[in-house]
Structure formats: structure tokens, C-alpha cells
Amino acid sequence: MDNLLVVIPAIKKSAVIPDQLVKKLNSITLIQRAINTAKELTNNILVVTDSEEISLICERNNVKFYKDSKLKIDSNNIFSIINKIIDKREEEHFFIYRANTPLVNSDILKEAYKEFLKNENIILTSVKKLDKDLFEYKDNNLIKIEHNYFKELKSFYIYKKNNKILKPFIIDYEYSIEIESYQDWWICEKILQRKRIIFNVIGSVEIGMGHIYHSLALAHEITDHEIIFVCDEKYKIVVDKIASKDYKVISTKNILKTILELKPDMVINDILNTQKEFISILKQNDIKVVNFEDLGDGSKKADLVINELYEEPLLKGEQYKWGHKYIILRDEFNNAKRHKFENVSAVLIAFGGTDQNNLTLLTLESIIDIIKQYNLELHIVCGNGYVFKDDLVNYINNINYDKINLYFGVETVSNIMEKTQIAISSNGRTVYELADMNIVSIIISHHKRESTHSFASLERGFINLGVFDKQNTLVLIKENFQKIVTDDNYRKLLFLNIQKYSFRENKQKIVKQILELL
């Protein structure tokens, strides 16, 4: 970029805030921040100033300066004054970059210069888009004006000396703060203090949405930092659908490469078991690593590993946290109404996103006679990955019972749990939601890994039937369901056991531990 000169106007007496150019913003003065940013573009820099102090800063940075104590520069005369100062310079391209937009970083400047090189006959001007609905009052009616409106952002101009035609370069809203008040200063400082946190998540119709909802619940508590969701492109549709409502989502073929390019301060992996090489590379790049539900080799290298579904430690290391004290509930449970002990009027069946064993239908077949006998309402919740939908619907249509409510792919379940006093469920995160809602439950594990989640036990208010066994499990479901429904004393004992548990305060404590790593 030998053909480029970056000119930084630094007129101390024009400052909105006293001494703002030499006042530290997040530990770095505005003028020093501008010089640092410009140096990432080129070493050919000229600071135009009226200040002895700023001249000294330039000398110490080995940056050339032009000083005139009588200088006054504003939007009306900036070109005439700067052009006069650089009149005899040999460079062809000039980049006037102001220090009062500290969020406009070198990546933006480089992108702008590339845009200018496509057409060197214009003055490329930084602007921000005005996202406002504007109306014209005409013929006694408000008519929306369908135009894009821009406001000049006093950040930079790129031009050749004789150019006159202005062309906008749009700065994204999050970077477009110009310091014109103490409030602007405070906002910029808060943004500059932010860290970048990446959530690496999985989610699909087959896997379910649990990891995404879990990560979202965490992300919603982290308000002072930048959050980006990253996922393998095969999970794009589901992650986009859920996370992009609130956060930027990037899908990619190469998770590691994408993460490194984003230069995060922290990566939170909610992807089950991690690989040692993957975590090691993140650590080599000075990235803090937090993993959830991870028993893989990568967990040994992480800064913090929260295995909330395992009550007893399965691995050694100070970075591991185990058990229900680290359970994070989805946000929908924050204000959900917990049950008091009451008569049974409604039952919930919920076996996760896919229910590969079709326990939903098998359980319904096992308990339908009892449901009818006691005139109970039944709520059945199935995930998007449930492939036995037709069989289930056909069965329900043929049993002639109108108190069955069937849900597919619902995003909220707390409102359904508020209606039910008993549940039959798989042995995943739903167990903790049921415990928090004080719902006595029968639990069946889909497979051996799920059965290692040992929270669901009699002393905690659950009847745990272990791993699904077609010959025995269905009989046990019927027997235990009959006992819960008919034996109030037994159900009350289970209720008193389950009533001890509440997880609604966990999230803030866990987020605090995570952020302490930054």
C-alpha cells in the first residue's frame, strides 16, 4: 500500500469531551487507538494536530505529524484543509480516518479500501443506515416512503485529490457509534470490553434440540459479551431455526477453521464427547474452553467441564463439575408454577426428540386402561424426530378416548407440565425439569448411556425402571403407574422427596464460573 497515505485529524480543541483524544478508552487513548488501527492498514501515516501532547505521542509511535496550533477542522472544511496540507505528497490515494469512531476497526478499513479500488473516481464515505419507517402526509393519509436513508458517520473518507462524487460505504450498526457525548463514550467502552464467546452446538431432528436450548439458556444470561453460534453445516437448518432468532449463526464444513478465524476469547462446546486434538488446538490459540456433557479425551484439556447428568465423578481432574447442582433449566421454566400435592387429574408422556424405541406408543398401550378407568387427561409430547407418528395417531383414533392431547415438535413444555401431576419419561434433561416442577415420574432409559444418568431415583421422587427391555418394562410401567395413581400415601412420599429439588438458581452461578475464566 505504498500508494496510500492515512491521514488522522487530531484537533484537540475540537473535542466534544475535554481532552477526549488523550483520554483513555478501555485503557487506550483515542489517538493511540486510531494510530494502532491505521498501522494495521499501512505504516504511511500522517497525524494532523494542533496539540503538543499529540505530537509527542506521534513521535513515540514513530508516526509523522503536521502541527499547527491554530488549526480548526470540521465537516465543512476538512477536505480543503487536509488537501492543502498534503498538496505536495506523492501518494495517489488518501484515507482520512478519524479517531472518534473507535469501533471502526482495521478489518473495516481494509474492506473499505478494497471497495474504493474498484472505482477510484469517487470519494468513498463512511455512513450508517437509518433503519426508520418514514412517512409522507399526503391526501389526508400517511404514505410510507420506500427509500434507503443514510447518515454520514464521521469515520473516514477515501479519495484521490480531485474526486468529487460521493459513494457510501455502510458501516454495520454495531460499529457505527461516533463519540459525540459522554453516553457514546460509555457505550463504546462497554463494547470494547466485550469478549467474543462462541457456542459450538449440535442439533437435528434425529439428535433433538436439547443442546441448542441448553446453550441458548446460557447465552441469554451472558449480556456483556458478543455471542456467536457455530455449527456443522449438517445441523444448519435446526440451529438457524432456533438460535438465529437471537444470535448470529455460522454453519461450516470445518468447525475448527471457522472458530480460529473468528478469534474468540472463549469456546463453549455443547456437542457431547470432544476430541483431544480439537481442544488442544483451541488452547494453543489462547482460547478458554468450556465443555458440557463431555466424557471424551478432549475434556482433559478443557478449562471447565460440566457433566451435570452424572451424579458421581467418572474422570479425575479439578476442571470437572458433576451432578444436578450444575443443571441449567431452559428459560421457559423461570416463572413456571410448581405443583403442590394434589389429586391426579392429568398425566404426561414424553420420550425425547426421536424416541427410537417408540416408548411413547408402548407406554400409552400399557396405561390406557388405567387412564380410562380414572378418567385422567393425557398429554403426549413427541419430538420432531419421532418417526412413529402415523402408528401413534392411528392408535389414538381407534381407542375412543377424547381426553388425549397430542403435541409434535413443541418449543415449550413447561405450560404442559403445569397441568400434569404424573409423568412417564426418558432419562435425559427432562428428568430435571420434572423434578423442578415437582412431578412424580416413572423413568425409562432408551439405552445404556442414558442409564448412567443416576439422578432419577426413589430417594429423589422417581421410579427408575432402567434400560428399556420389551419383555419386562411394559409390565413394570403398568404396575408402577397403577400404584402411583391409586396409592396416595406412596405418591405423597415420592412427592416429598422430589419437592426438595429446585434448579432455577443454578444458571447464574454457572455463568459466573464460566465468565471468571475470561
What's the gap between Cα 380 and its chain centre? 30
Can you count the helices (H) and strands (E) in the chain?
Answer: 17, 24
Q: At what angle do helices 210-219 and 506-515 cross, to 10 degrees?
A: 70
516's enclosing H/E stretch is none
44: cell is 504511511
> What pLDDT, on a 0 to 100 scale, did the predictor assign at position 76?
87
Alpha carbons 270 and 291: distance in angstroms, whole number: 6
Is 294 in contact with 269 (CB distance < 8 Å)? yes
**Which top CATH class is 196-328?**
alpha beta
3-state secondary structure of 380: strand
Bridge partner residues of 306 (DSSP): 292, 321
**How does DSSP assign 221-288, residue by residue?**
T--SSEEEEEEEGGGHHHHHHHHTTTSEEEEES-HHHHHHHH--SEEEEESSSPPHHHHHHHHHTT-E
Q: If you compute the radius of gyration of the chain from its CA atoms, what whole number of angstroms results?
A: 31
Is 339 in contact with 437 (CB distance < 8 Å)? yes
Alpha carbons 485 and 331: distance in angstroms, whole number: 30
> Would you say the C-alpha torsion 301, 304, 305, 310 has a positive or negative sign?
positive
359: which residues sit within 8 A by CB, 6+ positions away? 351, 426, 444, 446, 468
What's the gap between Cα 175 and its chain centre? 19
10's enclosing H/E stretch is strand 4-10
Alpha carbons 436 and 330: distance in angstroms, whole number: 11
Instruction: Supply angle C-alpha 105, 106, 108, rounded to 5.
Output: 70
For the stretch 170-176, contacts whose Cβ atoms lie closer than 8 Å and that sit 24 or more positions apart, written own/partner, are 170/127, 170/128, 170/129, 171/104, 171/108, 171/126, 171/127, 171/128, 173/128, 173/129, 173/131, 174/103, 175/101, 175/103, 175/104, 175/105, 175/108, 176/101, 176/103, 176/104, 176/128
Could you check whether 4-192 and 196-328 share the same CATH topology? Answer: no
Is 353 in contact with 384 (CB distance < 8 Å)? yes
> What pLDDT, on a 0 to 100 scale, did the predictor assign at position 121?
94
Alpha carbons 217 and 351: distance in angstroms, whole number: 21
pLDDT in tens for each of the 518 residues of the chain?
679 999 999 999 888 888 999 999 999 999 999 999 999 999 999 999 999 999 999 999 999 999 999 999 988 899 999 999 999 899 999 999 999 999 999 999 999 999 999 999 999 999 998 777 777 788 888 887 767 778 899 999 999 988 989 999 999 988 999 999 999 999 999 999 999 999 999 877 666 677 888 888 899 999 999 999 998 888 877 777 777 778 888 999 999 999 999 999 999 999 989 999 999 999 999 999 999 999 999 999 999 999 999 999 999 999 999 999 999 998 899 999 999 999 999 999 999 878 889 999 999 999 999 999 999 999 999 987 788 999 999 999 999 899 999 999 888 999 999 999 999 999 988 999 999 999 999 999 998 888 888 999 999 999 999 999 988 999 999 999 999 999 999 999 999 999 999 999 999 999 999 999 99
pTM: 0.79
Q: Which residues of 445-471 are buried (b: 16+ CB within 10 A; e: fewer)?
A: bbeeebbebebbeeebbbbbbeebeee
For the stretch 247-255, contacts whose Cβ atoms lie closer than 8 Å and that sit 24 or more positions apart, written own/partner, are 247/199, 247/219, 255/200, 255/230, 255/231
Is 512 in contact with 260 (CB distance < 8 Å)? no
Type of residue at 161: K
Within 10 Å of residue 193's Cβ, how many Cβ atoms? 12
Is 288 in contact with 266 (CB distance < 8 Å)? yes
**Which top CATH class is 336-498?**
alpha beta
> What pLDDT, on a 0 to 100 scale, did the predictor assign at position 207?
63
- Domain boundaries of the chain, sorted by first residue: 4-192, 196-328, 336-498
175: cell is 460499529
474's enclosing H/E stretch is helix 473-486
> What pLDDT, on a 0 to 100 scale, did the predictor assign at position 205?
62
Q: At what angle do helices 255-262 and 276-284 cross, to 10 degrees?
A: 20
9: which residues sit within 8 A by CB, 6+ positions away? 48, 49, 73, 78, 82, 96, 98, 99
> What pLDDT, on a 0 to 100 scale, did the predictor assign at position 208?
66
User: Is CATH 3.90.550.10 what the domain over 4-192 is classified as, yes or no?
Assistant: yes
432: cell is 430435571
